Amino acid sequence: MIINKVEICGVNTSELPVFKADQMRELLVKIKQGDEDARQKFVKGNLRLVLSVIQKFNNRGENVDDLFQIGCVGLIKAIDNFDLSQNVRFSTYAVPMIIGEIRRYLRDNNPIRVSRSLKDIAYKALQVRERLIRTNSKEPTISEIAKELDMEVESVVMALDAIQDPISLFDPVYQDNGDAIFVMDQVQDKKDTDENWLEEIALKEAIKKLSSREKLVLDLRFYKGRTQIEVADEIGISQAQVSRIEKNALKNMRKYI
């Protein structure tokens, strides 16, 4: 199902209610008191939030209905864990929870398989990270997380890297006036630079200028790895002649290059 349809998972998004801040807080108070009707209303009133989040993942080729349902799980977890005593808007708290739930789903369904032990370490590291952020009100370092887990820093880094979502070379990293810059535009290939490409063309053109015997000697010497003696035996001339032909061929090639 495409993202811009009005109906998703049987829910008509055009009919979803929109609550004001005071109405949201009133419903949250009732939810904490165990009011199921208030809970249902609150979930419905925040489904637009889920829809806005899953648009971040609409280029993954995943079924949008599936992402919506997973996002709803994240929304419900956010409702259950939201602390009314904190001066934080519900949406500010809920969005990371919804994103986290979707990312977990994408990781678990990733075609690139990661071992269960690495996943366990990574999830423990993420839990420690969240706890340290709440305690210290700042982002912890990998060393701090590793210390809490009593593990080597390298093991934690490897585990966290293993659960990162793969990205496409065609994912946009910047867009200005409709001209997108993609990941592939930022990747450098040191083995296939324009300079190497031009040198290869020049080399091929220089070889074309050589005589057939010069080409044969260079082919045997540098492409097939023969010694001058072996080349001499193969084509029936002396080693001195092979040496002379080789030097002359290389000298001529330098002129052309």
Per-residue pLDDT tens for 183-207? 655 555 555 554 565 667 777 878 8
Most confident listed range (3-12, 19-28, 54-63):
19-28
Residue 257: the pLDDT is 65
Higher pLDDT: 194 or 93? It is 93
Whether the per-residue pLDDT at 112 is higher than 70: the answer is: no
Query: pLDDT class for 11, splitting at 50, 70, 90?
Result: low
Whether this prediction's pTM lies above 0.85 is answered by no
pLDDT of residue 144: 92
Question: Which residue(s) pair with 176 in the sheet?
Answer: 179
Neighbours of 247 (CB within 10 A): 10
**107 SS3 class:** helix
pLDDT of res. 1? 40
Mean pLDDT rounded to a whole number for the chain:
80
Domains of the chain: 1-110 (1.20.120.1810), 112-164 (1.10.10.10), 194-256 (1.10.10.10)
- Structural contact between residues 60 and 105, judged by C-beta atoms closer than 8 angstroms: no
More confident of the two residues 88 and 39: 39
Percent of the chain scoring above 70 in pLDDT: 75
* Other C-beta atoms lying within 10 Å of the C-beta of residue 58: 13
Phi, psi of 83 (to 5 degrees): -105, 110
Q: Phi, psi (5° rounding) for residue 59?
A: -105, 15
Q: Is the pLDDT of residue 99 over 60?
A: yes
The predicted structure's pLDDT at residue 118: 80
Of the pLDDT bands very low, low, confident and very high (cuts 50, 70, 90), residue 4 is very low
| Exposed e or buried b per residue across 40-56, where buried means at least 16 C-beta atoms within 10 angstroms of its C-beta | ebbbebbbebbbebbee
Q: Identify the top-confidence range among 82-91, 144-153, 168-177.
A: 144-153
Q: How confident is the model at residue 14 (pLDDT cuts 50, 70, 90)?
A: low
